[in-house]
Every structure is written in C-alpha cells, then in structure tokens.
Structure 1
C-alpha cells in the first residue's frame, strides 16, 4: 500500500508575495504531504529575499491560502496557493469617504442620474 500515488505524492505549491503595488514574486515548489504554510515559506526562499516576511513580524503581514486568511501551522493540500498580504496603509472606509467628498454628490451614487423635476433622492 505504500507505493500508491497518494502516499508518495509531493504537493505542488505556489507561494506569492507582493512587497509593493503591482509587484508580485511567485515561486513554485514541491513539498512532501503534510507540509505547512511555514514550511512552504522556508522552502520557497522568499524569506531570505524579503527579510520583512519573517514570521516574527506576523502582526504586519497576513497569511492566506487561496484568498482566505490562515495561520503558519495550516496543513497544505496539493495545488494550494500560499499568499502573503502587505498591511493596509489606508483604511478602505476612510479612502472611500475621501473619494466621495472629493468628487461630490453630483456625479456619484444614487444622485448621479436624476430626472428633471424628480424629488430629491429619487
């Protein structure tokens, strides 16, 4: 039974990190079955290329597998994609409010296309 593909198969994992906007570094690695997110980071070599990815700085970076937040001890499956997300520099709610205030109410939201003579808000 030990020579079946399920026991011998290595996991094909893709590790992604984006240290700056529009810059993505991608590594494809093979790991033994039962490997974790932390082992994927170590084997990918991205930790040595980007020292800020060190798992001690976990408060700054968020780990994810296929867009879902995860922990360093998460056990990976074949063809998983491990992602490292930068911390947000601006709160998305604040940025949206500032954009709305800058463009005004005339061109945004429900009030953008109002019929002549219509009540306010319709």
Structure 2
C-alpha cells in the first residue's frame, strides 16, 4: 500500500484527504478511491485536471501514484487570465485618460 494525499479547493472551502492505495494505482483511480466526490457532489471531479505538487499531469489515467504524492484536483477556470488582464489594463487606461 502507498500513502498519498488528495486535495481539492472550492471557492468556499478546501478538503485534504489522506488515502492508502495499492501500488500501481493511477492518479485518476486514486482520486476516485479517495472519496473526494462525496465532499463536492456538484463538481465532476473525473473531468478536472490533476497535478502533483503544483505540476499538471497530462496522463493522469496512466501515471501511477508514488508514496507521499499530493494529488491536486484543479477547478476549471471561470475566466481566461489573459482576457482579465487585458480588460483591467483597458479600464486603467480609460481612468488615466479621464483624470488627465
């Protein structure tokens, strides 16, 4: 058995679960085995990207867990960060023009 952690953070709360899984368990299988879905029934965790210690893992279905891994489940982005920065810069430019 391998000891890992599975973590998910919603807007209002975060949950970290310690889990023991068999060697050869994939990241996706470990997420399912953790029971995290019961804590966040309104989120489809099976489709969320996952990572280990802040690094996204593209092949979560074939990447096996290792002892001590912290599997992070990432929420989908609500807004594109580049678009948000562009809008904020445009708003600041308008404010500067208005104050000149």
TM-score (norm 2): 0.76
Aligned counterparts of 1:106 and 1:42: Cα–Cα separation in 2: 49
Q: Deviations over 1:38-77 (max 9, x none)?
A: 221122111233232342xx2xx21112222222332011
1:43 corresponds to? 33
State whether structure 2 residue 40 is matched by structure 1 residue 53: no
The one of 36, 46, 61 equivalent to 1:72 is 61
1:26 counterpart = 2:4 = no
CA distance in 2, matches of 1:94, 1:32: 43
Residue 97 of structure 1 deviates from its aligned partner by 1.1
**Max Rg structure:** 1
Structure with more contact order per residue of length (Cα contacts < 8 Å, sep ≥ 6): 2
**Cα distance, 1:78–1:29 mapped onto 2, change above 3 Å:** same
Aligned residue for 2:5?
14
The Cα of 1:105 is off from its aligned counterpart by 8.6
Q: Which stretches in structure 1 are left out of the alignment for 5+ residues? A: 1-9, 108-122
Query: Structure 2 residue aligned with 1:87, among 64, 71, 76?
Result: 76
Q: Which runs of 4+ in 1 moved over 6 A?
A: none
Paired residues in the alignment total: 93
